[in-house]
Amino acid sequence: MSATKHNWTKEEILEIYNTPLMELLYDAATIHRKHHDPNTVQVSTLLSIKTGGCPEDCGYCPQAARYHTDVEGNDLMSVQQVKAQALRAKSSGSSRVCMGAAWRNVKDGEEFDQVLEMVRTINKLDMEVCCTLGMITENQAQRLAEAGLYAYNHNLDSSEEYYKEVISTRGYEDRLETIDNVRKTNVTVCSGGIIGMGEKTEDRAGMLVALSTLNPQPESVPINALVAVEGTPLEDQKPVSIWDMVRMVATTRIVMPETQVRLSAGRTEMTREGQAMCFFAGANSIFAGDKLLTTPNPDVNEDMEMFKLLGLNPQKPFIKKMQPETVEAQNSQYQALGEKPKWTRPEHTIERNEEAKQKAKALK
């Protein structure tokens, strides 16, 4: 039976987050060693398979159609393009490919069928496949599972309270429902958030409460530092300090000991020393490639140099869970249902999101 604690409170998590740093690092590193090889870090490649034009209003995101950013929209990539990129990623040490599409939710039809084919193709390359496609129903999650999906990413972003300050076009409960739909399958859950959006420390703790009290806890938790992109409502946010990042990583490691903690967006702002501290504090995955969906990321060669310097080894795929079997489309036991679920549209107004929208309209 797992001894993982599932009833963390905000107060307990805040106390951990605010522990004197040396003690916090020691505690996190001790827990990390008990559950993971401290010299192994997974390299994942994030691929934007459909970029821009998203109808949502996430205040941090340059892919939202309503903001005026430099992001160029792209239609869904072909299966062949995705396969070529996955092979390139594999040859440079990645064991996982995460495919992101800027959709509010998945719609049954040709495009989803194409994504299912991408999942089958990458799984057959013996790489872990993760998708982040927005909200999905249980049937869609089952279809992804059958295609060989290893993980589904759906971030909670922040605490429930602060979420309402960043996104107005869908609710926190929708996020939790999608996570729940994924949980009903054998696909693992990847869910984390972003720090540096103007939230309080309490919100960071609140997000960790929401994640750590899920039972089972997510197998993967990405911790992102906001990359403030011009044209988005959060363009003026100051970069998050490395000390906050280290505290957040260490706290995540302590409250979710078995989880793969992913050092995600914002690594270009971090020194190698800073990243090394995050690995020591329990981060055991990075995203490789010069772009993270649409924002800059360190070059893969730089990362490999850093691995050499720190004596880190890239993690092999399927260490935590067996490779899923791929069921071909014609043998599938799940069919497209064409469901139209009632995801909420809270439609409350966030002033800075509205301002950014008006500014973008004026620039057109």
Which residues are known to be catalytic? 54, 58, 61, 98, 130, 190, 262
Our finding on whether 288 is near ligand SF4 (CB under 6 A) is: no
Point out which span in 57-65, 221-229, 235-243, 326-334 binds ligand SF4 (CB under 6 A): 57-65
CB of 177 to ligand SF4, least distance (A): 15
Contact 343, 174 (CB under 8 A): yes
Q: Which is nearer to ligand SF4, 88 or 359 (CB)?
A: 359
Binding mask 63-82 for ligand SF4 (x = CB under 6 A): xx------------------
User: Which residues are CB-contacts of 227 (< 8 A; sequence separation ≥ 6)?
Assistant: 265, 266, 268, 269, 292, 295, 296
- Which residue in the set 56, 174, 203, 219 belongs to the binding site for ligand SF4 (CB under 6 A)? 56
CB of 9 to ligand SF4, least distance (A): 29
Binding mask 161-200 for ligand SF4 (x = CB under 6 A): ----------------------------------------
Binding mask 129-158 for ligand SF4 (x = CB under 6 A): -----x------------------------
- Which residue in the set 102, 246, 254, 288 belongs to the binding site for ligand SF4 (CB under 6 A)? 102
Q: Which is nearer to ligand SF4, 289 or 314 (CB)?
A: 289
Q: Which is nearer to ligand SF4, 159 or 315 (CB)?
A: 159
CB of 73 to ligand SF4, least distance (A): 11
Our finding on whether 54 is near ligand SF4 (CB under 6 A) is: yes
CB of 56 to ligand SF4, least distance (A): 4
Q: Mapped to the 3 state alphabet, what secondary structure does the chain carry?
A: CCCCCCCCCHHHHHHHHCCCHHHHHHHHHHHHHHHCCCCEEEEEEEEEEEECCECCCCCCCCCECCCCCCCCCECCCCHHHHHHHHHHHHHCCCCEEEEEECCCECCCCHHHHHHHHHHHHHHHCCCEEEEECCECCHHHHHHHHHHCCCEEECCCECCHHHHHHHCCCCCHHHHHHHHHHHHCCCCEEECCEEECCCCCHHHHHHHHHHHHCCCCCCCEEEEEECCCCCCCCCCCCCCCCHHHHHHHHHHHHHHCCCCEEEECCCHHHCCHHHHHHHHHCCEEEEEECCEECCEECCCHHHHHHHHHHHCCEECCCCCCCCCCCCCCHHHCCCCCCCCCCCCCCCCCCCHHHHHHHHHHHHHC
CB of 347 to ligand SF4, least distance (A): 15
Q: Which is nearer to ligand SF4, 13 or 240 (CB)?
A: 240
User: Which residues are CB-contacts of 37 (< 8 A; sequence separation ≥ 6)?
Assistant: none
CB of 63 to ligand SF4, least distance (A): 4
Our finding on whether 58 is near ligand SF4 (CB under 6 A) is: yes
Q: Which is nearer to ligand SF4, 56 or 203 (CB)?
A: 56
Q: Which is nearer to ligand SF4, 52 or 314 (CB)?
A: 52
Binding site for ligand SF4 (CB under 6 A): 54, 56, 58, 61, 63-64, 102, 134
